[in-house]
């Protein structure tokens, strides 16, 4: 039996390696560099923990997840692994103790926050000990493309110059092709062997529905398909976390809130209960889930649009780690797009940063509006090919597409007329009211019933118009701006108005039902 397998069984208590683990571990034990791309829950930790135990010296693990270090170290110590960490949460005495253990060769693993490696005293400490390997966790943090770029990570490229003989293993769960090659070049891992696991999670059923009454839609999902199941519901704001949790409790579902604004004690308690008890629902902001390892999460629901496909993948990936059928359900609406664009416009950072956030959002929107298999789209985003899965909403109920060129032109001309004739900009609500010929108080106040476009869009219902706006936004054929999400033309709107571009839209589920009924 190999040393690695012996450690897997004796220390960690598992029978066999999963996926590429064995190959990765053998490669690193033999002194090779590795770049590991593996989805969340795939078992990345063992890929450096075992080589650190097999090789001579201390395995140095660089991780930005400072809040998790204590837990990780405690868990390892409980298994009898000699682990320690150095980060900013410790006082001087605690740090000294860990440093002494490191120098005395009394550690197997030392976890470090990346900023530690920019401090000369840390580097000189490492220089005086014996290092078995460097593991760089969450390696996408080095990429400008990534959503949590950290300048500290750039310094990690120097590890190789200082310790040319120590193998390095970089690990990430969120690499697109672009991120992937950026990690390799920035960390100077060109010669590293790449291990790319499949990102497919076949037991997760992906579903994305238009949002109309999200809490009710969620309740319906829980009652019809996930009665008594454990699950996570993600909301964007603390306020909606609270409201949604209350709503579920009122409707007889045991739900606990989790967000950064809650008292740390309550937060820890809710998390512990979720892990320990059966069938609890946690309603949370994305603060929840990092390092959560509960095998039987049967559903992950998003009541708000995630900011990126990576985020969506990571959050939905917390469902079904036990391999049993699970649901990833997302409700998304026009307001999500308006809100996120607003957040991007108001975000800190330079124009390039905002553009990046914009392209992350665009990719997420494209996934929402696709008429193709969701899994194919999701995996393609990570640079992986697949065939239609038969286990997502578009495979199970194929989405129809329809030619929305004329409605798109009507909508865009309304926006143009408001601007040209009145020098006004309005949000989707008012524009749709004009198209539908509704004499609301606001329409009358602004004399919008006198516009030539008033009532030219009566062939579609309000929900359908909202779908049109949403999809035009997703395709970049219209844009929103400002605090109120006013509609403005985008660079490509002209092609639609001029008739050079056909607009294909996904039919909304309810209008698909209506269309089917009227034709039967
Ligand atoms: P990642 O870091 O890729 O998200 P982890 O390293 O946290 O994943 O592993 C996820 C879970 O899978 C952990 O509970 C871990 O103990 C378990 N695990 C990893 N490898 C194996 C294995 N070979 N056999 C059984 N369980 C494993």
Which residue, chain included where needed, has tokens 């512990």? 272
Does 43 contact ligand 1 (Cβ within 6 A)? yes
The tens digit of pLDDT for each residue in 418-473 reads 999 999 999 999 999 999 999 999 999 999 999 999 999 999 999 899 989 988 98
pLDDT score for 513: 56
**Which is more confidently placed, 434 or 338?**
434
Judge residue 427's burial from the number of C-beta atoms within 10 Å of its C-beta, 0-12 exposed, 13-18 middle, 19 or more buried.
middle
Q: Which two tokens stand for residue 271?
A: 């998390």
**Which is more confidently placed, 359 or 129?**
129
pLDDT score for 519: 47
CA–CA dist 474, 262 (Å, integer)? 34
**CB environment 163-173: b (16+ within 10 A), e (fewer):** beebbbbbbbb
Q: Which two tokens stand for residue 283?
A: 């309603």
Could you give phi then psi for residue 241, rounded to 5 degrees? -60, -50
CA–CA dist 491, 499 (Å, integer)? 15
Contact 158, 82 (CB under 8 A): no
Does 292 contact ligand 1 (Cβ within 6 A)? no
What's the mean pLDDT when you consider all of the chain? 91
Q: Is pLDDT of 511 > 80?
A: no
CA–CA dist 220, 42 (Å, integer)? 31
Which residues lie below 8 Å from residue 469, measured CB to CB, with a gap of 6+? 334, 411, 428, 431, 432, 478, 487
Q: Is pLDDT of 40 > 80?
A: no
Q: Is pLDDT of 179 > 50?
A: yes
Q: Which residues pair with 331 in a beta bridge?
A: 209
Does 37 contact ligand 1 (Cβ within 6 A)? no
Residue with CA closest to ligand 1 atom 17: 43
Q: How many residues would you count in the chain?
A: 520
Q: Which atom of ligand 1 is nearest to the CA of 38?
A: 3
The tens digit of pLDDT for each residue in 269-293 reads 999 999 999 999 999 998 887 667 7
Q: Is pLDDT of 130 > 60?
A: yes
Provide mean pLDDT across the span 160-167: 93
**CB environment 295-309: b (16+ within 10 A), e (fewer):** eebbbbbbbbbbbbb
Provide mean pLDDT across the span 197-210: 93
Q: Is pLDDT of 111 > 90?
A: yes
Provide mean pLDDT across the span 70-82: 93
Could you give phi then psi for residue 510, rounded to 5 degrees? -70, -35
Q: Return the minimum-mean-pLDDT range out of 90-99, 117-126, 194-203, 377-386.
A: 377-386
Contact 154, 11 (CB under 8 A): no
pLDDT score for 345: 86
Does 404 contact ligand 1 (Cβ within 6 A)? no
Nearest CA-CA partner of 26 in 169, 180, 170: 169
- What predicted TM-score, i.e. pTM, was given to this entire model? 0.77
State what percent of residues in the chain have pLDDT above 90.
67
Which residue, chain included where needed, has tokens 């009394």? 106
pLDDT score for 388: 93
pLDDT score for 146: 56
Nearest-10 crossing angle of helices 45-54, 21-29: 40
- The rounded Å distance from CA 45 to ligand 1 centre is 7
Does 199 contact ligand 1 (Cβ within 6 A)? no
Q: Return the minimum-mean-pLDDT range out of 95-104, 227-236, 329-338, 350-359.
A: 350-359
**CB environment 203-236: b (16+ within 10 A), e (fewer):** ebbbbbbbbeebbebbbebbeeebeebbbbbbbb
Q: Is pLDDT of 505 > 70?
A: yes
Band of pLDDT at residue 78, cut at 50, 70 and 90: very high
Q: Is pLDDT of 515 > 60?
A: no
Q: Which residues pair with 480 in a beta bridge?
A: 487
Q: Which two tokens stand for residue 130?
A: 């014996």
Could you give phi then psi for residue 94, rounded to 5 degrees? -60, -40
Provide mean pLDDT across the span 351-360: 84
CA–CA dist 384, 62 (Å, integer)? 28
**The dihedral sign for the CA sequence 172, 290, 71, 62:** positive
Largest distance between two CA atoms of the chain: 84
CA–CA dist 189, 28 (Å, integer)? 13
Band of pLDDT at residue 520, cut at 50, 70 and 90: very low
Provide mean pLDDT across the span 194-201: 90
CA–CA dist 459, 75 (Å, integer)? 62
Q: Which two tokens stand for residue 415?
A: 């926006």
Which residues lie below 8 Å from residue 104, measured CB to CB, with a gap of 6+? none
Does 44 contact ligand 1 (Cβ within 6 A)? yes
Provide mean pLDDT across the span 11-19: 93
- The rounded Å distance from CA 85 to ligand 1 centre is 21
Residue of 9, 43, 48, 320 to test ligand 1 pocket, by largest number of atoms within 8 Å of CB: 43
Three-state DSSP at 362 gives: helix
């Amino acid at each position: 039996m190999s040393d690695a397998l012996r450690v897997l069984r004796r220390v960690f208590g598992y029978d066999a390696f999963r996926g590429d683990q064995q190959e990765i571990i053998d490669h690193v034990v033999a002194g090779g560099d590795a770049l590991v791309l593996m989805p969340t829950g795939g078992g990345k930790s063992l890929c450096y923990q075992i080589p650190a135990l097999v090789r001579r010296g201390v395995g140095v693990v660089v991780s930005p997840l400072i809040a998790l270090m204590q837990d990780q170290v405690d868990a390892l110590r409980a298994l009898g692994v000699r682990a320690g960490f150095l980060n900013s949460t410790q006082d001087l005495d605690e740090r000294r103790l860990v440093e002494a253990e490191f120098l005395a060769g009394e550690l197997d693993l030392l976890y470090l926050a990346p900023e530690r490696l920019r401090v000369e005293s840390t580097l000189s400490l490492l220089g005086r000990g014996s290092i078995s390997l460097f593991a760089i966790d969450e390696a996408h943090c080095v990429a400008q493309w990534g959503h949590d770029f950290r300048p500290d990570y750039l310094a990690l490229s120097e590890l190789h110059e200082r310790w040319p003989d120590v193998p390095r293993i970089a690990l990430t769960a969120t690499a697109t092709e672009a991120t992937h090659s950026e990690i390799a070049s920035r960390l100077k891992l060109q010669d590293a062997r790449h291990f790319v696991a499949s990102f497919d999670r076949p037991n997760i059923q992906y579903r994305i529905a238009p949002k109309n009454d999200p809490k009710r839609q969620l309740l319906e999902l829980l009652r019809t398909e996930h009665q008594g199941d454990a699950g996570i519901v993600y909301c964007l704001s603390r306020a909606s976390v609270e409201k949604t949790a209350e709503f579920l409790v009122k409707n007889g579902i045991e739900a606990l809130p989790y967000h950064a604004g809650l008292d740390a004690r309550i937060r820890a308690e809710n998390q512990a209960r979720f892990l320990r008890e059966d069938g609890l629902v946690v309603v949370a902001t994305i603060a929840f889930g990092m390092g959560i390892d509960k095998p039987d999460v049967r559903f992950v629901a998003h009541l708000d649009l995630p900011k990126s496909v990576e985020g969506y993948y990571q959050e939905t990936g917390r469902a079904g780690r036990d391999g049993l059928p699970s649901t990833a359900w997302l409700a998304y609406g026009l307001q999500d797009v308006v809100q996120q664009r607003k957040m991007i416009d108001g975000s800190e950072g330079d124009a390039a940063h905002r553009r990046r956030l914009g392209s992350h959002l665009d990719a997420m929107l494209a996934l929402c509006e696709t008429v193709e298999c969701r899994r194919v789209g999701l995996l393609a985003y990570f640079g992986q090919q697949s065939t239609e899965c038969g286990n997502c909403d578009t495979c199970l109920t194929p989405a129809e597409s329809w030619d929305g060129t004329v409605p798109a032109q009507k909508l865009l001309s309304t926006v143009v007329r408001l601007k040209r004739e009145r020098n006004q900009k309005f949000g989707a609500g008012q524009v749709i009211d004009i198209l539908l010929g509704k004499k609301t108080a606001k329409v009358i106040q602004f004399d919008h019933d006198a516009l030539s476009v008033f009532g030219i869009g009566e062939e579609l219902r309000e929900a359908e118009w909202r779908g049109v706006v949403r999809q035009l936004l997703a395709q970049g054929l219209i844009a929103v701006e400002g605090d109120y999400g006013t509609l403005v033309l985008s660079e490509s709107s002209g092609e639609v108005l001029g008739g050079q571009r056909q607009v294909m839209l996904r039919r909304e589920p309810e209008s698909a039902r209506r269309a089917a009924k009227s034709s039967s």
